[in-house]
Amino acid sequence: MSNLIEPHGGKGLTVCLLEGDAKKIPLSPRAKGDLIMIGNGGFSPLTGFMAKDDWKSVCDDFLLSDGTFWPVPVCLDASKADADGISVGEEIALVDPGNNEIMATMKVTEKYEMTEADKRYECEKVFMGEGTATAEEFWKIAEDDHPGVQMVMNQKEVNLAGPVKVLSEGEYPVKYKGIYHRPADARKIFEEKGWKEIAALQLRNPMHRSHEHLAKIAIEVCDGVYIHSLVGNLKPGDIPAEVRVKCIDALVKNYFVEDHVVQGGYPLDMRYAGPREALLHATFRQNYGCSRMIIGRDHAGVGDFYGMFEAQTIFDRIPYPSEPGKALLCKPLKIDWTFYCYKCDGMASLRTCPHSKEDRVLLSGTMLRKCLSEGTPIPDHFGREEVLEILREYYSGLTEKVEIKTHKAATGDDHKKCRKGNLPAFLSK
C-alpha cells in the first residue's frame, strides 16, 4: 500500500501513452488501404474493422448487422500467436511493416477465428460470379487465377475487430500531392464548382478511348466527372499509379473541357471482386460526394470470372433499407460496351453501332498492356497518341515484364454474357 497521496479523480493514474509493451499488429497492404479509408471518412459509416456478425451479414445479405448497406467485408487479420496475446478491451497499435510506422490505434472489441472453411465461405460469397454453376467449378481455377481469392485465403488465422483512431495516411498525401483526396477535399472542390450531380469514373488502367468516351457521356448528363484512380496496390503486370496519373493529365489537358473534370486518387488495393467491388466503388464514391457511378463492361473484373454486365445488374438486386441513411444512394450510370467503329467513324456502343466485330477496335486495358508489354503494334484509334507515348516510355524502361493473359472481355468473345446463379441469401428465400 503506497503512502503517497492518491492521484486526482479517484481512478488512479489514467495512463494514455501507447508505448513499452503495447501490442503491435502488422497491417497487410489491403488492410492498410482499408484503414486509411476508415480514417479519412471514405468508408463511412465504418469506424473500425468488422466484428463477426458484420462479416457474416455482409457476406450473406450485403448489410451490416445494424441493417446498413455494405457490400464487402472489411476485416483485420492477425496471426494466432499475436491474437492470443491480446485481450478484448485492450488497445493495440496497427503498424505498417514496411517502415514500422504506427498508423493507428485500435480498441479490440472482438477476436474471432477465420478457419479455412470461413475463408472459402467468404470467397464464394464475394468473388464467385453468377456464371459459375457450382463452388467446385469456382475452386478449380480461383486459387490459382483470382488475386482477390488469394488475398483472402492467405489471411492469417484470426480477425480482430474494433474501432480505430488513424494517426497516419501513409505515403499518399506526399507521393500523390494534389491527387490524393480525402472525401471532404473532393466535396469541397465540387461545392466550389457548384456541382450537384457528379459521376465517378473508376480507373485502375491508363485511360484509353473507351474510358474517355464513358467520361464524356457522363459529362453530358451530369455537372461533371470525377476521374478517381486507384493509387494502392495492383496485381503484377498492372501499370503503376504515377504513370496512370500522367496519362490522365495528358488526356484531360488535350481532349476535355477542364472545368467539367476533376482528377483524384484513393489508397485501396484492388480486390478484383467484380460486381461486389462495383457496389463498394459506388458506396465510397457516395462519401466523396458522387451521385452516380459509371459502370461499364466487366467493372473491377479479372479473367473470365464475371459476366460482362454482371456489375450493372447487381445494382438491381441489392437490398435498399428503408431506414434513412442506410441505403446506397449513389446510382449506377450503366453504359454498354464501347469501342471505336471504322464504319461509324467514331466511338460507339453495342446500343448504337449496327456493324460487325470485324469493324470495331475492341478497347481493353488488358489488351493495351499486353501489346505494350510484348512490343506489338497498337491498333489505330485504341488510345490517344499523347497517352501512348507516356506508356511506351514506361514499358521501354522495364527490365522484367509480366506475362499478360487475355480473356474474353479483352478479345470481344462472349459479349453480353450475364448469367444467373449464386444469389445472395436475401434473394434465395
Distance in angstroms (rounded) separating the CA atoms of residues 387 and 244 = 9
Query: What is the per-residue pLDDT across 214-229, written as a single tens digit (0 to 9) for each?
Result: 999 999 999 999 999 9
Q: Which of 187, 204, 244, 292 is catalytic?
A: 204
Please answer whether residues 311 and 299 qualify as being in contact, where contact means their C-beta atoms are separated by less than 8 angstroms: yes
Helix axes 135-145, 116-127, angle to 10 degrees: 100
Q: Is residue 40 among the annotated active site residues?
A: no
Q: Is the pLDDT of residue 407 over 60?
A: no
What percent of the chain is predicted at pLDDT more than 90?
72
Distance in angstroms (rounded) separating the CA atoms of residues 70 and 283 = 8
Q: Which CATH architecture has domain 179-429?
A: 3-Layer(aba) Sandwich (3.40)
Query: What is the per-residue pLDDT across 331-388, written as a single tens digit (0 to 9) for each?
Result: 999 999 999 999 999 999 999 999 999 999 876 667 777 788 888 888 888 889 999 9
Region 124-148: mean pLDDT is 91
Choose between 15 and 311: higher pLDDT.
311
Q: Is the pLDDT of residue 419 over 50?
A: no
Q: Which amino acid is at 265?
A: G
CATH 3.40.50.620 range(s) for the chain read 179-429
Task: Give me the pLDDT at residue 230, please.
Answer: 92
Q: Which of 205, 209, 369, 384 is catalytic?
A: 205
Residue 212 has phi, psi (to 5 degrees) of -60, -45
Q: Is the pLDDT of residue 235 over 80?
A: no
Strands 198-203 and 101-107: unpaired
Choose between 18 and 215: higher pLDDT.
215
Per-residue pLDDT band at 304 (split at 50, 70, 90)? confident
Task: Give me the pLDDT at residue 283, please.
Answer: 97
Q: Is the pLDDT of residue 69 over 60?
A: yes
Choose between 17 and 193: higher pLDDT.
193
Per-residue pLDDT band at 410 (split at 50, 70, 90)? very low
Q: Is residue 422 among the annotated active site residues?
A: no
Please answer whether residues 61 and 139 qualify as being in contact, where contact means their C-beta atoms are separated by less than 8 angstroms: no
CATH 3.10.400.10 range(s) for the chain read 24-114+155-170
Question: Is the model's pTM score more than 0.75?
Answer: yes
Going by C-alpha positions, the residue among 299, 206, 218 that lies closest to residue 246 is 206
Going by C-alpha positions, the residue among 264, 253, 181, 188 that lies closest to residue 229 is 264
Please answer whether residues 201 and 225 qualify as being in contact, where contact means their C-beta atoms are separated by less than 8 angstroms: yes
CA distances from 273 to 9, 215, 299 (A): 52, 23, 9
What DSSP designation does 176 have? T
Q: Does the domain at residues 24-114+155-170 carry the CATH identifier 3.10.400.10? A: yes
Quote the cell numbers at residue 420: 444467373
Average pLDDT, the chain: 89
Task: Give me the pLDDT at residue 418, please.
Answer: 37
Per-residue pLDDT band at 428 (split at 50, 70, 90)? very low
Residues 6 or more apart from 51 whose CB is under 8 A from it?
65, 109, 110, 112, 161
